[in-house]
Structures are given as C-alpha cells and as structure tokens.
Structure 1
Amino acid sequence: MEWKTVITTIAVVSLCFLAIPIKIEPDNTESDLKLFKTYVEKFKKSYTRSPAEYEERFRKFQRSLRHIEEMNAKRTSKESARYGVTEFSDLSEDEFASSYLRPDLSSRGMRHLHHSHHHSHRHNRYDTKDGRADSSEKNRLRRSTTGLPVKFDWRETGFVTPVRNQMNCGACWAFSTVEVAETMFAINNGTLHTLSVQEMIDCAGNSNFGCNGGDICSLLMWLTVTQVKIKAETAYPMTWRTDSCQLKKEDLSSAGTFGVQIIDFTCDNFVDAEESLMATLVSHGPVAAAVNALSWQNYLGGIIQFHCDGGFKSLNHAVEIVGYDLSASVPFYIVRNSWGENFGDNGYLYLAAYGNLCGIANQVSSLDVA
C-alpha cells in the first residue's frame, strides 16, 4: 500500500471519531399521528371520511404541535401560560383568525377616538418609561397604597352568567357587551338575568353586521341613541347566525316588557394607566375590552406574559374583564372569553397586568344600565 493511501485512510477513520455537531431533525410523524387520531375522536371532527381533508388537517395539526413546543419551552415559571392541543389546533393561523377573530376591529376602533364617550387615561405614576411597572412599584400596588383591593373578582358576587360559546359567529363584540350589561343590571337590582346576544346580532345598526363583525363602542352608541332594551335570552334565543331582526314597535315602547337599557357608557384608553382600569373594575363593574387574541389558539391556562402584541392595530377580538389579582407573583387580569367552557380555564384566561399585554388597555368600555 502506498504511503499516500495509508495517510488518506487514517485521516478518514480519524474523522469518524471527531465530535462533529450534526443536527438531525426527529421524525415525529408516527407519534403525531397517534395524537391526531385521539384529537379527532375527542373533538368529534367531521373530516374522518375525507382522506384529502384528513391529511391536510393532520399537517396543520403538526404545525400546531411544533408551535406548542416552542411556546412551552419559553415558560419562565409554573404560573406562566401553558399551551397544548385545543379544538382550534387543526387550523392554520389564517383560518383561526378568519373564523374566530375580527381583523377590522382596530380600524373600527379608530372611529371612536374623538367621540365624546372616549377618554384617554395617562396618569399612571407607577409605570416606567417603557410602559411596565417595575417590581418595587408592583409591590406598592400589592400593598394597596392606591386604595385598590389586592384581589377582586366579580364572579365571587354571583353576578356573572356562565361562559358562552360564539361558535363560528363573529360577534364577540355583542357577547362581551351583553355580558357586562348582565352583571351591571344584577349589581343595581340584585337579580341576574341571561340577556339576548342574538338580539344584538340581528338588530344592532351603526355599522354592526351581526356574525360578520361589529365593535363594542358602536353597539353601545346604537343602544343609547335608540334606547332599545336588551331582552332576556329566553325571549330572543341564540341561533348563531345573522337573522332578520325580530323586534317590534311594541317592544320599543312598552314599559312593561322586561329588558335592560343602556343609559350611558365610556370607551376609554387605559394604556399607561392600568391602575385606573382596575379602579373602574372595583368601583363600577366589569368592562368589555378589545384585545389581540391571535396567540390564544392553543392556550390551556396560566398567565400570558409574552408573545402577544399590544398595538392598537393588532386588535381583533372582544372579551370581558371581570377582575384582577395583584397578590400573585405575576399580577394578572381575569378575562372571560366567548369560546366555550372548554377553552382555557373553564372559559377564562389570565393576562399579565401592566404593559398593555395583548392590547388589553387600548379600548375598554364600561356602561350604566336601567
């Protein structure tokens, strides 16, 4: 054997023992498929008899699994948000947004910025220059130096109705507004009634379009101008689609017909003033808020602290805020959603307070009822 051949052979063999980092992506197809089969059965998906759609949904489900892994890898504590398989995990991000979110909500919100019902609160002496309260300032809030209770939750009064499910009807704006009206009526009168969201879907004008979109402030303005009462749900039940308005003239004029009337409202901005938002929750009642819910697709529970743009232009959903907790290691808001009790924590989620996470403070509405 020639010496050149010997040297070449030794060099090749030596390379086999060198620690050369080669990243080999694991093939998760088999385990993912087992999870998907369980998922399809659990959520009673209807595409089992369509091989083409089944395959397409499986690929989207796989993308959700990888995203879930990434989100959970960034958790910083046991209180941090947890992500996992939900009924939405077989949807692409675009499908999720088009089915359950309203991308035009921010442009709608812009129309209300100069209205007389709109106020901008920017006097938070606890916030730092970057819009987040530092730990010492949060501790001062926890000691209630502002006069706020350390914890507050309207559910504990018994004045909050069960969580609803908007299904594929894009009327989050109606759900959140009616939910606030229910509790406000109960606060004033001591009795809790489930009110009609469907009435708002079918009847609300002022550029509201039923299951195809609307916004909280436009609905409240329409209700105060027209003095239409929100009827009980039993008198105007849900259909989860936009139908013809069933209101009659006698419904509008009859003093004997039960209904809740909105007599006043606000449509406020609490960016850099979130303790004022908390004060409103305590002293007045729950509020409806526009948010950015794009990152909630695979949310299971815990406090959302990151990965959620709070810009005004990112608003795409509406929810109800029913309380807060400043005693936790991460202070948070208690947020009621309208995606059913299987979403998050029995239909609720928790958003870290301060810093306008998910745009929670951009456009917040309180209301008064009669």
Structure 2
Amino acid sequence: MSPTTTTLPTGAPTSPLFEIRETPHSGRAVFATKDIPNDTLLWRSTDLTLDVLLREYRREVCGECFAYDHGRDLPIRDQSLGFAFCTPSCLETWKSRNGPLGIQAWTAVEKLVKKRSKEDSEMVSPDLPRPSTKRIAEAWDTTTTAASLIRVARAADRDSPANQAGVAVPVDHDGGGVKCTKQHRKAVQKALLQPLNPDIISFVLSGILHTYHNPSAWPCILALASDDTPYSSADDLAAYTRTYLHLLAVLPLPLLPHVTAESIRLLGSRDSHNSFGIRSLEDEGAEFFGYGCWPSASYFNHSCAPSVAKRRDGRVWEFRSARDVKEGEELCITYLSGEERRLSRGKRVGILKRNWGFDCACDRCEGV
C-alpha cells in the first residue's frame, strides 16, 4: 500500500520541496517532491506554541532565546517573573510577546511557586503503569465541583489581580446572581494548598497565553496527532488536574475562560507525541533544559538513519537535508539525542517505545 496525498492539515508545513501524505504505517509524513541535494534548507519552524524551561535551569537558560552559557547564571534576572535573560533585548522581546496580561499571569504563578518551591514533584519511575482513558476521565471529572466554586469566588473577588489591573469584576452587593459564600472561598484556599509541579504549571500557562494572543494557533494544535493516555503515571495525571485548579485560583480573570479542563487535557494530549527537546547546542545536546511543541515541525517522522538534520536557532527549528534525497523519499528526522543515536538497536527501540509510544521499524533497525 503506497502513501497517498492527504488534505493539508491546519498549520502543516508547505514547500515546493515536499508534501504531506498519509502512510499505511505511521500516519502523516513528509515526502520529497523532487531530488534534493545535501544540506538544502527544507523548513524553518517558527511556531513555538507550548514550552517549558525546567525550573532547575531557569537561572542559566534565557527565557526568550534559550541561550546557555555553560552553566553560568545569566546577567539579567527578573525575580518577579522567574526567568533570566541573556540580553536586555531578550527581556523586552519576552515582555512584548507575553503582553501586560501575560506578565501579570507569570508574576502570579511565580508568587505561588515561590511559596511552595520545596514541594516540587519528584521524578516518577517510567516503569509505573500509565493511567487508562477511564481513569483519566474520572480524575478530570473530580475537578468539576471545585472548579465551579473557584470561578465564583474569583469573579466576586474585588482584590483579584484582574481587578487591580482595571478589569471589571462582577461583585454581588445585592444578592443577585451567584453569591460568593465561605464554601467558595474555601475551595480557593484548598486548591492553593495542594502540592504543585512548577514545570507543568509553566507548560500549561505557556499554551494558554499563546492561544489567547494567537487564536489561530488553536486549530494547529487540534490538527496534531493525539495521545489518549499522555500521563506517565497517576502522579503525573494528578499534577495536571491540580494545575487546572491552581491556575483558576491565581490567573487574571480575562484568562479564566481559556482555563478549562478540556483545553488543558487537549494541550497534554497533543504535546505527548509532538514535543522537541530544548537542549544545549554544544555537546550534542547533552544538557536537557526543557521541551516545546512547534506544530509545523511535528510532521517529520522518525528514523534512526535520518535523511533530515534538525538544528535549533533560538526559538526556531531549522531542517536541512542530511544527504542527497531522491524524489518520493520520506524526509525523516531522528527523535534520539546525540548519545542515544549510537546505542544498540535494542536500546534505541526501547527508548523510542518508552518516550514516543511506537516500535521503530526504520531501515537501520530492520537492517535494510
């Protein structure tokens, strides 16, 4: 069964050098439409939609361009935002991209995290069972009542960050509408006392802010391959459901319509199989700083003998042919880090299965 041209998904890369086709074995894939010489620029992916810099690297990696100076603390650090920057220009670009509402949101999250920084989640063993779709649905259903109570409390809070920013907040003076009671206030306090995961909170917030500022990005996320069981463990699932309530409790009111169980579940389900690691540009990417989702870059499938080389340039991924490519050949990148590429077939297959959920059958693994 040969690949067939597919209807172009929203946000898919387009070029006279390649096209997106359906395959019988690995979904959508990228195929050369002509002979391509070695080292030809194929695509530049500028559409970073979700990302997180792991908290342990926040002092060393620029929050805007991801520059890294061999573990040294960067010269510009904004304590209220929780990010460091390599230049004043990067700081100003970050602020411009996030806007006043984004700055307010990151400040609120950083204030929350600083109070609870010693409660960061520990790494969970990858050998623990992944929650089933039924368990995932049940876990999110349990947030419904608490989320409703928190929304009422936030809407009635005259001292909320949104009200301080000049946003009109409905307050019940006369008993009309939904009256905020002690039960609603307790729901907020209970949510804020729950354990938190700073990296998951940052990841979700980045997606909420990006889609708030760029509504056209949402269909691009929807078009990505979905993972029905994206959580690595029950603890990971719980961290996401708690993040939902944490964000409802602290974010500015204009963002709350975008903070829903459905939107956060969708962000997690699309990120699972579509993320790229944010690594150092030296030492074959030995230092792993975080990860992000560039939707247009996600159409390149994996091969342990890739025909496409990828390289990050700040917030942009650049893809070039790694050798001469024939017309009709699939254009593949590798999902493995530099060191992982040199491992035995069995170890490579194990890593790909654990991290990406598929059994590699590329030419190198099959001995073709």
Max radius of gyration: which structure?
1
Q: What TM-score do you get using the length of structure 2 for normalisation? A: 0.29
Q: Which has the higher contact order (CA 8 A, sep 6+)?
A: 2
- Which structure: greater helix fraction? 2
Q: What TM-score do you get using the length of structure 1 for normalisation? A: 0.29
